[in-house]
Structure 1
Amino acid sequence: MIDDEANGNVLINPPENDRFTPSPTKGNQLPAPLTPTRISGSSTESFTTPDPKKRNTQDLESKKLNRGISRATDNVNLVSQARSVILAEACDQEYFLETPVHTFALPDINAYPENFRAFLVKDLIAVSTQQSLEQANRLNWWTAYCHRLWPLSTSGDGNCLLHAASLGMWGFHDRLLTLRKTLHGYLTDSPRRESLWRRWKRYQDLLNAQAGLVYSEVEWRQEWNAIVNMASSEPRLRRLSVQSEPGSDGTTAGNIYESLEEVHVLALAHVLKRPIIVIADTVLKDMNGDDLAPIPFGGIYLPLECSPSECHRSPLLLAYDGGHFSALVAMDFPSSGPNGALAYAVPLTDSSGELLPIQFSVDPGNGNESDSSLTMTQNYDLLESYLDVVKIDPNGTRAPTPDEGKNNGLLGSIGKSVGQKLRLKLTRSNSQRQKVILCATLHMDKRHEYHDAMINNYLETARQRFQLQDEKSQNNISVV
């Protein structure tokens, strides 16, 4: 994982990840399986009996949060400085963070020996999330065209959405709750909050219709007030930590926050003025593999209330699995290294070629509860307004190597010889008639100023921990 649990503390009872919470105004009218249900990220309550094997894996990942890049000795001050700068910038802005576009990337761990590489994977990657989404064919089905992406181990304390966003941009968790406080302020006081309310109301109304539910105006406002209050930085539960000691500075260790929902992802896209793409499965299955309920989080969240000219065009990528958000990042690859995948892009379609849903895309306007939806052309126009979109001809035998796509954070141009050899066509997307894979480019050249130093410090510390672990293992073998 990338950041530590505060002060190296680990929760005695890590939060369970799967949660279904009926709306307070729905009473006991719980719909049948596959009827829309509120699903919140990273909570402490479980609706179904979790898989013990998966639970054990998740618990282990939670306990790993006392290790990682920011826990490297030389990184403590760097991370503290970076957080202070971000906090100061947040204080200067009322409802959003005016930050440069930053994208975090892992080092190329494939360059290391197998045993050390396995150590790094366990230390950094949310393995259960990766396996779950890959088996569902939602993640990395595109490796013939684009580079593989990796979900980072992310703290599961109810604030995982903001932790994941912070990790994906800067490489450390939202420990000071800077993102969460700004998000809550946006939903509470921003002049655009009414627009978000209308988008959310239309979205929720469509879900309610499937369940045969009708809200009164009072119930609508109660629901929205609950949505806003969820984003508060006040913890809803406090727990002791394994390593807590009297007088220790356990600032956020043990605090559990309200888990967040789809509309909070939309609000976060506005706070950051940056598109967010969430990779998630579409249906939650029970222990027998049968469909239980839809998962609504996956899709594209655009800062639609902001002018595209004001927004960053490189999307922030998140993974969602088991009620938990994780940062989704790429790895750096050497320019000379062989690789058959396109450098730094993410598909905007699923594996069947269907466009990912653009969440909350319609604002019905004041007093107009129209059920109108955007046409396919309007969806494409929206995507091209906020993202650098390219189309990939799936008939190409392979895609360019990483160094062929790093120019200015775009995919770059392909020379004639390369094009003839690879038979891959990349152009700006201006037509939906061609059977192509639409992708959004990632601006990987935009890094936080401490990025490289943090990575180098972490790798040095990781080597030391790996050597100690290896020595202990060898000693145990010798004793036996």
Structure 2
Amino acid sequence: MSSAEHKWACEYCTYENFPSSKKCTMCYAPRVVYLISEQADPRGGGGGGGSSSPPASPPAADEAGRKWPCALCTYLNWPRAAKCVQCLSPRRRASPLSAAGLHEALAPLRIRTPSAESLARRGSPPTPSPRHQEPAAGPRKWACAACTYENYPRSRRCAIASPPLSNYEYERRLKQLRRRQREADWGWLSACLATVDGDPEPVDAYLASGGDPARQLSKAEVTLLNRPAVFEPGLTLVHLAIRFCQDNILSTVLTRMEGSGSGVKRVPSFVAPDLAQAVRRSVATTLRQKKVAFPCYFMTDMTWFSLPADIEELPEMVQQQLFEELLDKDAQKELEVDAPIINWSLDVTERLGSRLHAVWNRTAGDCLLDSVLQTTWGVFDRENTLRRALFDSLHEAAGAFYPRWCEYERQQTERLQYSLDEDQLRHDWLQLLALGKPGMPLEQLHIWTLAHIIRRPIIVYGVKYVKSFRGEPLGYARFEGVYLPLLWDSSFCSKSPICLGYTRGHFSALLPAMPPTSHITGAGADQHSPEAGGVVFFPLMTHDGKLLPVHFVTRAERGREEALLRQWLDVCVTDGGCLVTQCQLPRPPLLVAQMVQEWLNYYRRMCPVTGPVFPTKLPAAGDEASSENESEGE
């Protein structure tokens, strides 16, 4: 017999090699010998020179060794079977071309073993073994999960799906991976990783730098992230935040995608995130609860946040950029230009210098809580501290809130000529208590409860009708008015209110600017000194001369709204006959003042001749204790 009859075909390039060759002459791939059981395969021709044929195996063993595995379920079928007995799929005969195509489909631009990171650290590829060691007869082969090819027990990778890479191919793919790492947008990739891990700071940094919130992951970026079970091509920050239940990050990203003004926004808490986090911790320490018949949470510190007077010292171009990045232009236009809701009185805006500015705020259901904290501490309610205090107060002090709420709801329905029974009122009350999760929109009851928590009145300047995107009125908005902490004693609360703006389903913080000098030194809360800050004025009337509605009054208090306002607010009348309340702005707490100074320093560096840069280092424990407006816990 000639030696050509015993040549073996290479599994990769199909080149027919001589029987004595242990690896392919063309591609240097190791020879694969098929084992039947404990005897050598009569088709292999390996071992000797081929002069003597091996003993024939028993018929049963020989017939069993010729079974073909199903490509879908890997069941071993008899040679004559045209279809799989288990799944009825047709028999498929593997070919070198299909195996190579499968390899290209499974591993594009990816090195399986070892990983790309370990190869980059080593700096040189591993040298593949020139000879494939055949295992001893007995142990069973393992089937590849990708191509169902049966490999030797000692093989660490499939010989078909993952053929060994040549040095040229390895270097080419490694250079390609390094080039992509250099060209990658690591700010965007860090934001994706931070969204999965629940860290909002890299996401805020990416969005503050002008990043696109609707950007999608590409296939190359998914390869760089190297977490195929987490990242997929086409995913955005919104998809990742929803998949991993990151509500805070979701609301932040949705803010940049919805109508909250165009351009990059830089509020003080974004410029100084460490100080903002310290301020949020201070807010948590100021919340207390009285162990009395009215167990409502309240804040021990009385703080107000306003725009600093140092803004006027900046050049006009820098001031324009500051207000562009701080204010919500859409809300300001809707409240000031489209309808005369704020800044309509010349006596208040010009003579008294009390103009309100709509500050940019997050959306997605947390805007009310964020706007309340913005007007008091200058930060957002990222950790839901105020939301938890709100709903804990509603649950634990329901015996005080529920009766007055029921009476107020019955008065509202009587004006619309229909009535509510007790079952319907209890159902509506339970629905209001079920809005405690982050991102859920809040109602009038929650604004009134927040007035009790911050211990001061809340004035809401809002649109009267909720309109669609086409400008068509959809319904009556009932948020505008004054919310008084009527369940507290008036001596326990402050007479200086905070102001909020309400537009189409969104609340905004309305902040006044700190005047350089106080116009008058009127009455205010006893614990604040008039010399510490300035005095601003807020109208208690609409532009057509009507008194702002006072919410949650009883039947006995109806018709006495102006008397209630004079009891709970410091009310006076301007020369033009406008009923206003004056608010004394005290000096902000030390942490809030440092956060504002760091925010101003960001814009001072844009000036041609910069002013003095104030230190932004966190104060020591002794400094915090000596501050005027710090809580007892600090």
2:341 and 2:463 in contact (8 A); partners too: yes
2:278 and 2:591 in contact (8 A); partners too: no
Q: 1:258 to 1:288 in 2, by over 3 A?
A: closer
Aligned residue type for 1:142:
S
The corresponding residue for 1:447 is 588
2:275 and 2:595 in contact (8 A); partners too: yes
Task: Tell me the secondary structure at the aligned position of residue 312 of structure 1.
Answer: coil
1:392 shift after superposition: 1.3
The corresponding residue for 1:295 is 477
Q: Percent identity?
A: 27
Aligned residue type for 1:99:
T
The corresponding residue for 1:126 is 328
The corresponding residue for 1:95 is 296
Q: 1:162 aligns with which of 337, 359, 369?
A: 369
1:124 shift after superposition: 0.8
Q: 1:151 to 1:334 in 2, by over 3 A?
A: same
Q: 1:446 to 1:380 in 2, by over 3 A?
A: farther
Q: 1:355 aligns with which of 547, 550, 573?
A: 547
What is the 5 A alignment of 1:9-408? 9=204, 12=213, 58-60=259-261, 64=264, 67-72=266-271, 75-90=272-287, 95-108=296-309, 109-135=311-337, 136-145=339-348, 146=352, 147-190=354-397, 193-209=398-414, 213-230=418-435, 232=436, 234-235=437-438, 257-287=439-469, 289-335=471-517, 343-362=535-554, 374-375=558-559, 378-394=560-576
TM-score for the superposition, normalised by structure 2: 0.50
Deviations 1:27-72 (A, max 9, x none): xxxxxxxxxxxxxxxxx9xxxxxxxxxx9872545x745x321222
Q: 1:161 to 1:336 in 2, by over 3 A?
A: closer
1:290 shift after superposition: 4.9
Task: Tell me the secondary structure at the aligned position of residue 345 of structure 2.
Answer: coil
1:372 shift after superposition: 5.8
The corresponding residue for 1:368 is none
Aligned residue type for 2:283:
I
2:460 and 2:500 in contact (8 A); partners too: yes
1:211 shift after superposition: 5.4
1:104 and 1:329 in contact (8 A); partners too: yes
2:408 and 2:553 in contact (8 A); partners too: no
Q: 1:358 to 1:461 in 2, by over 3 A?
A: same
Question: Which structure 2 segments of 5+ residues have no match?
Answer: 1-198, 215-249, 251-255, 520-533, 609-634
2:447 and 2:483 in contact (8 A); partners too: yes
Q: 1:458 to 1:382 in 2, by over 3 A?
A: same
Q: 1:437 to 1:275 in 2, by over 3 A?
A: same
Q: 1:163 to 1:117 in 2, by over 3 A?
A: same
1:373 shift after superposition: 5.5
Task: Tell me the secondary structure at the aligned position of residue 479 of structure 2.
Answer: coil
1:455 shift after superposition: 1.7
1:307 shift after superposition: 0.7
Q: 1:158 to 1:83 in 2, by over 3 A?
A: same
Deviations 1:295-316 (A, max 9, x none): 1101000000111001011101
Separation (CA, whole Å) in 1 of partners of 2:516 and 2:285 = 35
1:168 and 1:316 in contact (8 A); partners too: yes
Separation (CA, whole Å) in 1 of partners of 2:607 and 2:487 = 48
Deviations 1:363-412 (A, max 9, x none): xxxxxxxx56522xx22221122111111121xxxxxxxxxxxxxxxxxx
Q: 1:198 to 1:12 in 2, by over 3 A?
A: farther
1:444 shift after superposition: 0.8
The corresponding residue for 1:419 is none
The answer as to 2:597 corresponding to 1:456 is: yes
2:375 and 2:498 in contact (8 A); partners too: yes
Separation (CA, whole Å) in 2 of partners of 1:466 and 1:56 = 31
The corresponding residue for 1:28 is none
Aligned residue type for 1:98:
M
Deviations 1:80-115 (A, max 9, x none): 222212212326666322322211111243442222
Number of equivalenced pairs: 340
1:133 shift after superposition: 0.6
Larger radius of gyration: 2
Separation (CA, whole Å) in 1 of partners of 2:541 and 2:415 = 25
1:90 and 1:178 in contact (8 A); partners too: no
1:299 and 1:359 in contact (8 A); partners too: yes
1:159 shift after superposition: 1.2
Separation (CA, whole Å) in 1 of partners of 2:538 and 2:456 = 15
Task: Tell me the secondary structure at the aligned position of residue 298 of structure 2.
Answer: coil
Task: Tell me the secondary structure at the aligned position of residue 585 of structure 2.
Answer: coil
Separation (CA, whole Å) in 1 of partners of 2:508 and 2:264 = 14
Separation (CA, whole Å) in 1 of partners of 2:546 and 2:417 = 28
Deviations 1:398-428 (A, max 9, x none): xxxxxxxxxxxxxxxxxxxxxxxxxxxxxxx
Task: Tell me the secondary structure at the aligned position of residue 163 of structure 1.
Answer: helix
Separation (CA, whole Å) in 1 of partners of 2:518 and 2:584 = 20
Q: 1:312 to 1:84 in 2, by over 3 A?
A: same
TM-score for the superposition, normalised by structure 1: 0.64
1:328 shift after superposition: 0.9
Separation (CA, whole Å) in 2 of partners of 1:386 and 1:336 = 22
The corresponding residue for 1:471 is none
Separation (CA, whole Å) in 2 of partners of 1:226 and 1:259 = 12
Separation (CA, whole Å) in 1 of partners of 2:496 and 2:260 = 33
**RMSD of aligned C-alpha atoms?**
3.0
Deviations 1:203-222 (A, max 9, x none): 33344445565444222111
Separation (CA, whole Å) in 1 of partners of 2:488 and 2:288 = 20
Deviations 1:172-201 (A, max 9, x none): 1111211111100110002xx234223322
1:275 shift after superposition: 0.5
The corresponding residue for 1:20 is none
Q: 1:64 to 1:216 in 2, by over 3 A?
A: farther
1:165 shift after superposition: 0.4
Task: Tell me the secondary structure at the aligned position of residue 584 of structure 2.
Answer: coil
Separation (CA, whole Å) in 2 of partners of 1:151 and 1:268 = 20
